[in-house]
Chains A and B, each alone.
Chain A
């Protein structure tokens, strides 16, 4: 976009949102060039609309001018989902952060896309409800972003991910229309499930401007157990043993030795430093049941090789255990200046062999790899530790990432469990989908977005769009250590 075009477009967008809320100064826009992935790209213009009607007008103006549009909220995407690689206009939802309605009678809440995930659950808590999906970045990430990526979190094992909790959306489409799909009802029997189709489409179909979510009663009691294992293999076999025992806990998380060391250095969560791996397990329910399940689970853990099973004795200890887990990614700054996180999934029964293969990659390449992940779902988060200032390391780490995703795919799994394909995995998507599979998806994308303007350069492999951008970042990757410490910004 040349300077004159940009000025013209900026003027039109300012007519919609006001002068303060649309800008093109490169210095002011710096913040909007990156997300939580290593990739960066500066947009042409940033817009901060204040209402759904403004979003619709902004989208229409951009679409008419054939200018790419990338929606962004907290930008905690780990897959480059909000990096505007084709430049154009970034729409951000800092001003659309209202909880519009809490309707306990119908077990629904209606929110704007910029509402922070945790803020919703905090608002619901006094009423005895909560919103289930809880990405580890829930203190920062927004419901709009959660809809974009179909976000998960530790407690989705039993209760499902974002799509299982969204019943309706208001969408701003490239056509300029504002359309409501689904709504407050529990079920639908009229037309295709556009709500379900849209969730997880990573901003490539349109922009959600209003979201109807399910809320549910808070569990009366939660019990958290920590089981200590000599190594990850024993711990991953224990996961299968727990699932086979007939108890499906609300969460089963695993951390390996390196992760435990990082977490303990950062947050003193109370994990034993000499453990080869720990499992964090949670059951919820009525007190009598939770006690029974806790005992049964502890027994299975011991029988499957746990040297110690510790039950959080009070809420403070429980919170400490979870704080350690949810702050795990930020804690990596204690071990390494940079890390690269993967989001592969394997069937639960393939965890032991997959972790062994990842370890072999670490040994072969010399890069340390930590594992902190949602073991109950088979959703791995290997973190490859590196130093971006050492020449060649970033490229080597990307190759390791590809190799790990390949082995997840070969084990019958997926290349992303909750972070999304984004920019980062658009070539890796071929490991699990054929050209025919992708062609059908692309056809559907074009129904919504015939000119490829909505978050272009994401989800789909390079072909069909313009040439793929370079994967090497323009600037030095940001430092993991910059966010290490108390921040729970990382998923």
Chain B
């Protein structure tokens, strides 16, 4: 009879310890999941924001890069078209040395 009483507390302690350990594990995992989920949400938000800003910037580049706008801007700054273009080409000499002459001895 005594022996039976002695065995029960060990089992109870084991079960209670197991429950406590598993609860802690579950708590840790839940915490980890919750914080990772929140981090993911923040990253997703950041990605969406960056994508949107990227889109806005691309649209702005397209608008500002238009030749019609650049031309208008250049005119308003007082720039004018080159009307008299002068090409500087090297003059071809009258006689070209194509073969080395034999040296005089």
Q: Do A and B bind each other?
A: no
